[in-house]
Structure 1
Amino acid sequence: MTKHPTSTEFIMAGRRLRRRRWILVTGLLAVLACSLCIAMLLLGNTIYPLSKVLRALSGEQLKGVSFAVNTIRLPRMLAGLFAGFAFGVAGYTFQTMLRNPLANPNVIGITSGSSAAAVFCIVILHAGGAVVSFAAVIAGLATVILIYFLSRGRAFSIGRLILVGIGIQAMLDAVISYLLLISSEKDVPTAIRWLTGSLNGSQLSELPPLVLTVLICAPVIALLGKHLDILELGEQSASSLGVHTDKTRILLIVASVCMIAIATATTGPIAFVSFLAGPIAKRLVGVGFSGVIPAGLVGVVLVLAADLIGQFAFVTRFPVGVITGLLGAPYLIYLLIQMNRKGEL
C-alpha cells in the first residue's frame, strides 16, 4: 500500500527545497562578489598577478604594485563593496516594508536629502569626512520624517508617500542645482563627481564610518528579516502575528537611512542600485526566506561590475553611477508602465 505524504510532510519538504535554493543562490552571489573584488585588485592600467597583489596586501613593498594596490585599488574596492551592500539592503528594506518596488531611497527622495546636505557641506562649508557623513545622516532622517508627515492625510497611503517623495526629490534636486550655481569653480568638479556616484579617489581614511555603519546596521536589519517579510503582508496581518509594527518600522528605517546616508556621503548617490537589488534578489531566491543578505550581495555585484565596465569597456572611462543609471532607467520605465496598467499608480 502506497503511503502518501501528509500535509505537514509536504510543507516541510517545500521549506527544505526553498532553504536549499536560498543557500545556493546566496553562496553563488557571495562567490561572484568575491571574484569581482579580486578583479578590482588585479585590473587597472597595469594588470598584476594575484601573487604580487597578495604580497602587496601583506605589507611587502613592491615597486609600483604596492602603491597601485594599497592606495588606489583597495580603497576603491572596499568603497564599492560596502556601499553596494548598504544600497542593496536599504533598498530592499524600504521596498518590502512599504510593499511597493518604487518605494526605495532613490525614488522617494531620501538619497536626494543626503546629497543636498553633503553638497552644502562640500561647496559652502568646504568640509569633508565626518562632517559630510553626519550632515548626510541627519538630512536623510529629516527627509524621511518630512515625507511621512506630508503623506499622512486622513489615512496613510503608500501611493501618496511615493508621490510626495518624488516631489521632495525634485525640490531637493533644485536645491542641489542652486548650490552648484553659487559655488566656486574649484568646488564644482568635486561636487559633480560626487553627485554622479563614483568610486574614483576613494581613500582608506574615509571608509571607517561606512564600514562601521554597515557592520552595525546590516545585522540589525538581517535579524529583523522575518518581521520585515511579515510587514509585507500588511499592518493588520503583521499585528495579528505578534509583530510590534511601529517599533519594527522605526528600527528598520533608522538602520536603513543611516546606511544609505553614510554610503551616499562616501561614494555619492550611485543611481538605481537600491532600486534594482531588491527585485533581482527576490527573483533569484524566491519566497519563504529573507532576501536581506542576497539583496546586499546583489548590490555589491551591481556596483563592482558597473565600475569595472565603466573603467574598461569603453574608450572613455565613466563613473560607476553612469553605468548603473543606464541599467536602472529602462527598468524604472518598464515598472511604471506595468504598475499603471494594473492601476497601482
Structure 2
Amino acid sequence: MKTHSRSRAIRTPGGLSLRLDPRALVVVVLLLAAACAAGVALIGTGEARIPAADVLRTLAGDGTAYQDFIVNELRLPRVLVGLLVGASLGLGGALFQSVSRNPLGSPDVLGLSQGSTAGALVVIVLMSGSASQVTVGALAGGLATGLAIYALAWKRGVHGYRLVLVGIGVNAIMTAVNGYLLTKADLVDATRAVVWMTGSLNGRGWEQVWPLLGLCAVLVPLVLANARGLRMMEMGDDISNALGVRVQRVRLVLMVCAVLLVAAATAAAGPVSFVALTAPQLARRLTRSPGPNLVPSLCMGATLLVAADWASQRAFGADQLPVGVVTGVLGGAYLLWLLVTERRAGRI
C-alpha cells in the first residue's frame, strides 16, 4: 500500500530544515481562533453580562472603569488559567500517549492526577494549609508520583506497555490513599478537599497565571526541540537508535516535561478530568496525521477547557457547575466510545 505525505520541507536561512503539514497548520489556526472566541465569550458570561464587542474594547484599553474591573481583574485571569491549564494537559497527554504508544496512556489513567490530588489532600487534611500551600502540595505530589511510576517501570529502559501497567497500579493505590485521607478530615477540611478535587476555575487569579505561564514558556520550547526524536521513537527503539536518536535520554526529558505540565495544571485548577486523554485523540483525528501532534494537542486542550467552562456557565449559571464535572462527563463518554471503536477494530 502506498502512502503519500502531505508535509512539505522548508529550509530556513540558517540551514535548518523544517517539515510543515498544511492540514495540521490549518487545524492549529482554527483551534487558536476557537480558543480566543471561547475566551471572549467566557469573559462576557456571568451575572454581569458584557457583549463581546465591549469585551474586546475593554481588552484594548477603551472600556469603562466598571468594565475594566470586571474584565481585566476578575474574569481575564480565570480565562488565562483555563487556556494554560488546558494547553498543559493537552500537551502532557500527547507526550504520555506518544511515549507509551497507547491511546489510553494519559495522566488520568496513569495516576498522575491522583498523585497530585494526594499531595493537595495531605496539605488540606493534615496541615490545614493555605491555598498557596495546597498548590505546592499538589505539585510535589504529582512530581513524586511521576518519579515513582518511572522508577517502577524501569527495566533496562522504559517501555510503553510497562509504563501503562505500572501507572494503572499506582492510580489504584493513590485513589485508596485519597479516600483514606478524606476519612481522616473534619467536616470543613473534607468539604474544602472535595471542592478542590472536582477541578474548577472558580476564584482563579493572576497568582495562578504567572507561575503556570512561566513554566509553559520553559517547557513548551523544550518539548518541541525534542519533537523529532519523539516522532522517530514511534517507529521503535531499535530504528530510532539506528537513526541517531538517544532514545532513553529523549524519553526521560519528555516524561519529566509531561509530569511537570500535568502537575502544574492540576496544582492551578485541581484535577480536571479527561482533557489530557481526549485532546490528543481529537487533534489526531482532525489533522489525520500519525505523528505526536504536539502543537494541535496543545491548542485542542486549551479550546476544550475554556469551551467546557463557558458551556457550564451558560447552562447552569456562573460558578454553579465546576468545569471538572463537564469534562468528566464528556471525557467519560468519549473514553467509552474509544474503547468500543478500538475493540471493533480488533486492537483490544
TM range (shorter): 0.7 to 0.9
Identity, % of aligned pairs? 37
Aligned to 2:329: 326
SS of the residue corresponding to residue 30 of structure 1 reads helix
Q: What is the identity, as a one-letter code, of the residue corresponding to 1:212?
A: G
Q: Counterparts in 2 of 1:68-87, with a 5 A limit?
A: 68-87=70-89
Structure 1 Cα separation of the partners of residues 297 and 328 of structure 2: 18
Query: Which shifted more, 204-213 or 80-89?
Result: 204-213
CA contact (8 A) 2:99 2:160 kept: no
Q: Which runs of 5+ in 2 are unaligned?
A: 10-19
Structure 2 Cα separation of the partners of residues 334 and 275 of structure 1: 13
Structure 1 Cα separation of the partners of residues 339 and 113 of structure 2: 20
CA contact (8 A) 1:281 1:298 kept: yes
Cα drift, residue 104 of structure 1: 1.0
Q: 1:314 to 1:130 in 2, by over 3 A?
A: closer
Structure 1 Cα separation of the partners of residues 227 and 31 of structure 2: 19
Which among 1, 7, 11 is matched to residue 15 of structure 1? 7
Q: What is the identity, as a one-letter code, of the residue corresponding to 1:230?
A: M
Query: Which shifted more, 148-157 or 218-227?
Result: 148-157
Q: What is the identity, as a one-letter code, of the residue corresponding to 2:321?
A: F
Aligned to 1:121: 123
Structure 2 Cα separation of the partners of residues 38 and 298 of structure 1: 17
CA contact (8 A) 2:40 2:55 kept: no
Query: Which shifted more, 311-320 or 109-118?
Result: 311-320
Is residue 2:275 matched to residue 1:269? no
Query: Which shifted more, 41-50 or 59-68?
Result: 59-68
Which among 203, 218, 229 is matched to residue 216 of structure 1? 218
Deviations 1:111-137 (A, max 9, x none): 111111012112322224554344333
Query: Which shifted more, 130-139 or 240-249?
Result: 130-139
Aligned to 1:105: 107
Query: Which shifted more, 114-123 or 96-105?
Result: 114-123
Which among 305, 308, 312 is matched to residue 307 of structure 2? 305
Query: Which shifted more, 174-183 or 34-43?
Result: 174-183
Aligned to 1:168: 170
Structure 2 Cα separation of the partners of residues 39 and 155 of structure 1: 47
Query: Which shifted more, 176-185 or 14-23?
Result: 14-23
Q: 1:153 to 1:78 in 2, by over 3 A?
A: same
Deviations 1:246-295 (A, max 9, x none): 11111111111111101101101111000001111111112276511110
Q: Counterparts in 2 of 1:32-71, with a 5 A limit?
A: 32-50=34-52, 52-54=54-56, 56-57=58-59, 62=64, 64-71=66-73
Query: Which shifted more, 77-86 or 113-122?
Result: 113-122
Structure 2 Cα separation of the partners of residues 255 and 203 of structure 1: 24
Query: Normalising by structure 2, what TM-score?
Result: 0.87
Q: What is the identity, as a one-letter code, of the residue corresponding to 1:329?
A: G
Q: 1:92 to 1:58 in 2, by over 3 A?
A: same
CA contact (8 A) 1:226 1:290 kept: no
Q: 1:308 to 1:291 in 2, by over 3 A?
A: same
Structure 1 Cα separation of the partners of residues 26 and 325 of structure 2: 31
RMSD: 2.7
Is residue 2:83 matched to residue 1:91? no
Q: 1:64 to 1:182 in 2, by over 3 A?
A: farther
CA contact (8 A) 2:43 2:76 kept: yes
Q: What is the identity, as a one-letter code, of the residue corresponding to 1:72?
A: L
SS of the residue corresponding to residue 313 of structure 1 reads helix
SS of the residue corresponding to residue 97 of structure 2 reads helix
Which among 185, 191, 195 is matched to residue 183 of structure 1? 185
CA contact (8 A) 1:98 1:232 kept: no
Which among 243, 248, 267 is matched to residue 250 of structure 2? 248
